[in-house]
Structure 1
Amino acid sequence: MADTVVLSADEVDVVRDGNPILRGVSLTVEAGQHWALLGPNGAGKSTLLSLLGARQHPTRGAVHVLGHTLGRVDMRELHRYVGHVNPRHPLRSPLTVRQVVLTGITGSIEPPPRWSPNSQQEQDADQLIKLLGLGHRGTARWTTLSQGERGRALIARALLPQPRVLLLDEPATGLDLTGREQLIEHLEALPASYPQLATVLVTHHLEELPPTITHAALLREGRCLAAGPAHQVLTSEGVSGCFDHPVDLEHSGGRWAVRTRRRAAQ
C-alpha cells in the first residue's frame, strides 16, 4: 500500500504573520485516486494544494510528495512530476494553443529563448490538445480563447510532462454553464488515458465535481473536518457543517447537486 502513496500531509500547520491558515491537517492521496478539497472561502484549500504541489513548506508537520519529504529535497525537482493547473495563468503574449501546451515541457510561461521542442514533444502536445477537445483550436491565439478553452489548454500543458499527480485549483473559475460542463466532461475522460494519475481538485461548488471523484476532504477555518471516500464524506450533514448552512445533497448520474434545506412548516 505504501508504494502507491503519491502525496501525504501529516498533522500539518501553516502559520502566516501569526495567523493559522492550516491546523493539524492530515491527508493521503494514492495513485489513481481523484480527490476534491471542499470548503468555504478562506478554509485553507489552496494553501493545502500548494503544499501538496511542493510550492511551499509547512510551518509544522510533514508533507511527502512522491516519496520525498519537503525540506529535504529541492522542490523544483518535483515540479515536473506534479502538474499544477492555475486558471489565473499569467500569460499575456499571443501564443498559440500549441505553444502554450509545449511550455509544459520547460515549466515556463513563455518559451525560453533558443529553445524548440523535438518532434515527439510536438506529437504528444497535439495528442493532448485533441484529448482536451481543442483539436480545432491548436493554432488559435491565447488572447482569442474563451475562459473554458484556456482552462483545457492549461490541463493539456500540465499533462505534457507526464506527471504522476495533477492539481487543479478551482479550474471552473469564471466559466459559464457550457464551459463548466465541457471541462467536467474532459476531466471525466482523463482516467481512461491516465489510469494511475492521481488528481486533487479544489472547489467550493459541489456541482463542479466530475463523476470520477473518488475521495473528498472538507475544510473549514484551516481544519480538516472529514476526509475519505467521497460517498462517506459528501453527506448533507457533513457539507452543512462545513459551510455552516443547512443543505441537502443529491447524487445522481455521478454528479452532486445542493439545495438549501427547507424548513418544516410551522
Structure 2
Amino acid sequence: MEILAFEQVQFIRQQNALLQDIDWRIKTGEDWAVLGLNGAGKSLMLNMISGNLWPSSGKLTVLGQLFGETSIPDLTKRIGWVSQSLQERIHREEEAEYIVLSGKFASIGIYQKYSDIDLEEAKQLLVSLGAKKLIGKVYQVLSQGEKQIVLIARALMAKPELLILDEPCNGLDLFAREDLLARIEQMKQAKDAPSLLYVTHHTEEILPLLSHILMIRDGKIFKQGKREDLLKEAVLNDFYQRPITIHEMRDNRRMVIPK
C-alpha cells in the first residue's frame, strides 16, 4: 500500500491556482521531507492530506483511501499531525501525560472514560521519547521544545500510520532544536514507528533518516527524489533562485547559507 498519492492535483481558490499539477507518491517504508519557503504551498498540501481541504481537480489517495470514496473522519484517525495551531489549542493547566492520553480519543482535553493501562501507556510514551521528567508537569510551564515532545507523544498515542510534523522546530533555540531532532530519531527506531512526513524551510533539519525530499515552490513541485540527489548546491541554487553555499554539518546534515 502507498502512504499517499497525488495525481494531477490542483487547488483553486477565487480563480487562483494555489497548487498546480501535483504528482507525488510516498511508498510504504519511505520517510519524506517537504521543503519550501513561506507561501510555497506546504500547508495547503498538508490540509489536503488530513482532509481539511479537497482538491479542485485530480485524484488524492491517502493510506489506500481515495478521496470521494472514503470516510474522512475515519481516515484522519490514522494520521498524526503536530503543528503550531494544535499547540495553541491545548489546555494550559493540563498535565503532560493527560495531553498525551487525549491523543487516544483525538480530542483536546479528555471527556471519555480511560483505564489505568491507557494512562500508563501515555506515560511510557513520554519515557520512550526521553521526557520522563515532564510527567506531572502542566503544559503552561513547559518550554517550547518540551511542548513539541508532548504533542509528538500525543500523536503517537493513536498509533498512526502516518505522522506529519509541520515545522516542529519553529521557535526553538539551537539547543532545543537539536534535542527535538534527537527525539525524532529516537522515535523512528521503534519497530512500529509510523511513516514520517517532515515539513520545513530549513535544510539543516532534514535528518538522514528522511530518505526523500519534495521541493515545492509557488504552488508547484520543483523537484522530488532521494535526499542525497537534491541536497546539492546546484539544485538548491536553482530552487531558491539565489546564490547559496552549503555548510556540511555533523551526521551528514547540510545547512544552506546565502552568499
* Bucket of the pairwise TM-score, normalised by the shorter protein: over 0.9
Residue identity matched to 2:23? S
Question: Alignment partner of 1:193: what SS?
Answer: coil
Task: Name the structure 1 match of 2:194.
Answer: 197
* Offset of residue 250 of structure 1: 4.0
| Residue deviations 1:224-266 (CA, integer Å, cap 9, x gap) | 01111111122212222222211122444231112224xxxxx
**Secondary structure of the residue that 2:75 maps to in structure 1?**
helix
Partner of 1:102: 101
- Quote the residue 1:219 is aligned against: 216
Q: Identity, % of aligned pairs?
A: 30
Q: State whether residues 187 and 193 of structure 2, in contact with CA within 8 Å, keep that contact through their aligned partners in structure 1.
A: no
Q: What amino acid is the match of 2:258?
A: T
Matched residue SS, 1:88: helix
Q: Which sits farther off after the overlay, 52-61 or 184-193?
A: 52-61
TM-score, normalization: structure 2? Answer: 0.94
1:254 corresponds in structure 2 to 252
Q: CA RMSD in A?
A: 1.5
Alignment deviations for residues 162-188 of structure 1 (CA, whole Å, 9 cap, x no partner): 111000111111111111111100111
Q: How does 1:43-62 map to 2 (within 5 A)?
A: 43-62=40-59
Query: Compared with structure 1, are the counterparts of its residues 194 and 60 closer, same or farther at alpha carbon in structure 2 (3 Å cutoff)?
Result: farther
Q: How does 1:8-47 map to 2 (within 5 A)?
A: 8-47=5-44
Matched, 1:131 2:157: no
Native 8 Å contact 1:30 1:198 kept in 2: no
Change beyond 3 A, Cα 1:93–1:195? closer
Q: Does residue 148 of structure 2 align to residue 151 of structure 1?
A: yes
Aligned to 1:228: 225
Q: Give, in angstroms, the shift of residue 191 of structure 1.
A: 2.0
| Structure 2 unmatched runs, 5+ | none
Partners of 1:103 and 1:60 in 2: CA distance: 35
User: How far off its partner does 1:32 sit?
Assistant: 2.4
118-127 vs 200-209, greater mean Cα deviation: 118-127
Give SS of 1:56's match. Answer: coil
**Which ranges of 4 or more aligned residues in structure 1 deviate by more than 6 Å?**
none
String of CA shifts for 1:32-65, please: whole Å, max 9, x gaps: 2111111111100111122222332111111111
The residue type equivalent to 1:162 in the other structure is K
- Residue type matched to 2:16 in 1? N
Q: Confirm or deny: 8 A CA contact 2:103 2:158 kept in the other structure.
A: yes
Task: Give the counterpart letter for 1:221 in structure 2.
Answer: D
| Equivalence for 1:170 | 167
Contact 1:33 1:197 in 2 (8 A): no
Separation in 1, partners of 2:109, 2:198: 25
May I ask how many residue pairs the two structures share in their alignment? 256
Offset of 1:196 from its aligned partner? 5.5
CA contact (8 A) 1:184 1:209 kept: no
